Amino acid sequence: MNRVLLDDPSALVEFRARLLQWYRQNKRQTNWRESDDPYEVWISEVMLQQTRVDQMGPYFDRFIRAFPTVKALAEANEDQVLKAWEGLGYYARARNMHKAAKVIVYEQGGQIPDTYEGLIALPGIGAYTAAAVSSIAFDRDHPVLDGNVIRVFSRLLCIEDDPRRSAVKARLIAVGEALLARGEAGDFNQALMELGARVCTPRKPECAVCPIGSWCRAYAELDDPEVLPRKTPKKPKPHYQVAAGLIYKGNTLLIAQRPMDGMLGGLWEFPGGKREEGESLAECLVREIREELGIEIEVDEYLTSVDHAYSHFSITLHALKARYLRGEPQTLGCADWKWIKLEELNQYAIPRADRKIMELLYRDGRQTALFDGGIERGD
C-alpha cells in the first residue's frame, strides 16, 4: 500500500476531504442520484454494471415508469420485465432482479434489506452491488470495487500486478477499507467511481486536474500512468455465422423464446442457429428449425445481415425469408413459440441483433413484403 498516505492520519483526512469536495461540486446530475429510495438506488446500480452513466437515463426512467416500486416489479411477469429492460443487454441482470423482488415482497415483507449481508443473500446481488446499495441507500460503511475504482487504486498505489488475480483484488479491497470515509461511504464510493469515469480514465487520464493527484504514485513515478492497470492480454473472440429465419405462414411470423437458463434467456427471437462447416445458410436454417422446433420449412431467399458483438464472441446474423411447410412447432430447443402479426413484434423483448434486422427491413421499406406476396428488393 501507499504507506505515506495510509500511515498518515492527517493525509487521509485531507485525501477524503478533497475527493468528496470534488465529487459534490462536479458530479453529474441524474434521477437516481437525487433519489433517496433504496429501490431506485438498487435498480440504478444493477443497470450501471454494464451501462455508462451518460447512456443510462432513458432506460432507468422507462423501467421506473413501468415498475415504480419493488412490489410492482415482483408482481410483473417476466416478459414484461424483459421488455422494460430491452436495449440494456446482459438480460440475466433483469431476470435476477425480478427474482430478488419476489423474495423481498413475498418473503421479507416488502422491505429491501438495509445491510450488506442481507443484500448479498438476494438472487443476482454480488459483492459490488451489495456494497454500493448498502453504502449509498443506507449509509453502511462498505467499500466498492468496480472497474473504475480498480483503475483509480491501481494508479494511486502503482500496482503493477493484474487486478483480476484474487490476491491483487483482495489487496485492493483492503485499500478501499483503509481509505473509506466512514459515515460518508455513499458519497465517497460514488466519488471514486465518478473520478474513474471522468478523470482517471482508461485512456488519456487528466492527471493534472485530479483532486487526489498529490498522492498518486503512478503520476509521480511513471512516464504514462495510462499503462495501469496492467492486464493479461485476452484471447481473440471467436466469430460465428448465424442463420435466422423470418418464417411466415399466411400473414403471420414465427418467433421463438430462448431457453430461460441460457444466454439472452427469455427473449424472443427469429429462430435459427450457428452454421456448421460445409453448410450453406439455407441448409443451416432448415436443420436448426427442425432441431429447435420440429417443423419443416423452405427457404425462399436471403434478406439481409448484421454484425453484432457480445462479451465473449461476435456474430454475423443472416436473415432468411422462409415458408412454413408442415409440422406442429414443439419446444425442442426453445422455451416457447408463437405465430404473430408483424405489428405485434414490438410487444416482445427481442435481442438487439434481431431488432437490427427489422430496422434494416423497415429502413428499406421491405417489411410489408415478408409474407406470401414476396420480397420486394430495394435499389
Catalytic, out of 40, 45, 288, 292: 45
Q: What residues contact 252, with CB distance under 8 A and at least 6 apart?
A: 339, 340, 341, 371
Residues contacting residue 69 through CB under 8 Å, at least 6 positions apart: 39
C-alpha–C-alpha distance, residues 10 and 34, integer Å: 31
Q: Is 328 a catalytic residue?
A: no
Q: What is the DSSP string of 126-184?
A: -HHHHHHHHHHHH--------HHHHHHHHHHTT--S-TTSHHHHHHHHHHHHHH--TT-
List phi, psi (to 5°) of 265: -55, 135
- Please state the separation of Cα 294 from the chain's center in Å: 33
CA distance 89 to 352: 8
**Helices 53-66 & 78-85 angle (0-180, nearest 10):** 150
Phi/psi of residue 97, each to 5°?
A: -65, -40
How far apart (Å, rounded) are the C-alpha atoms in residues 317 and 305? 5
**Which cell numbers hold the place of 113?**
434489506
Dihedral-angle region of residue 372 (phi above 0 means left; psi in -120 to 50 means alpha; beta otherwise): alpha
Query: Which residues are the active-site residues?
Result: 45
